[in-house]
Structure 1
Amino acid sequence: MSQEARGLDAGQRLVARLMGLGDRRTAGIVAQIALEEKAHVAIGVAWFKRVCEAQGVAAPGAFRSLLASLSPELLKGPFNHIARSEVGLSQDWYDVQCWPEGERAAMVAPAEAAAAKGRGEDPAAGASAGAVGAAAVTAGVIDGAGLEELRRRLALMLDTEAAAAAL
């Protein structure tokens, strides 16, 4: 869901750039892809909310935990807030500037250190921050076991839905 949301962020900018280069055909294709991403993200948001409700956790906090731990590179904009809002992603789900202060402090630094480590930057600092990362990322939102259970249930629900759709 977070990767598809990046499509919402980049789609219109890419269309404008392609149009500026005079490539109307490719711009039209990218515009269609960007439009289709809205449905993908909306479905992901709906499923995520269902899983969180079944787990008894708040969807925005769980999403923040997953985003910070699994895709820290997605914590930076630019964001298309309007497109994201249209599909059910409010800013408090993904924009660290809108996160509760305690969560921001607990999640962002370890996530940024893990991302730097993944890029091969300052591995010594990344390793020490990474040791703190898993626990700190979920502090105050959902514990590590709960996060794993949330991942497991989401995967199971998606597999079940895919199997039903294949029938």
Structure 2
Amino acid sequence: MRELTPPDSHHLNAATGWCELGNVAEARTELKRISAGNRDHPRVLEEEWRICAAEKHWLPALEVARRLIEVAPDNPSGWIHQSYSLHEMKLSQEARNQLLIVAAKFSAVSTIPYNLACYACQLGNLEEARQWLAKAIKIRSTEEIKQMALADPDLQPMWDEIKKL
């Protein structure tokens, strides 16, 4: 992957900072200052997705995630963002299906089985959700996954059993 150089790297850093501060309008303004030749750089697309997600603009977020998959298919973020966007659009079955495609490829990334657990739970398949949650725990610690899961409304139907982990 090619490196971003100034001034584009500065605009990206500024966009990231503004987004972290909750000022997505300024973040988007900084992102627009990035040269056209770098708009499809994976780091730029990552930040653009974060901005869309912060705005809860899920269709544009989905489009950005798909561009990220095109330019960096070996980066799990694009796949994770695509499925998350679909899930937020109430297309949890499609989110699950798309993430399943790469679950084995990115077997060391805990976010993938964790998100698959969320989607399975929301689809009413608690046994599948348990299996994915167990896989996420094998990658990260039980305590980390438990803490995330107990704060995640997608897993609320399983909170009583998650508390016992």
The TM-score normalised by the length of structure 2 is 0.27
The TM-score normalised by the length of structure 1 is 0.27
Structure with a larger share of its residues in helix = 1
Return the structure number with greater relative CO, CA threshold 8 A, min gap 6.
1
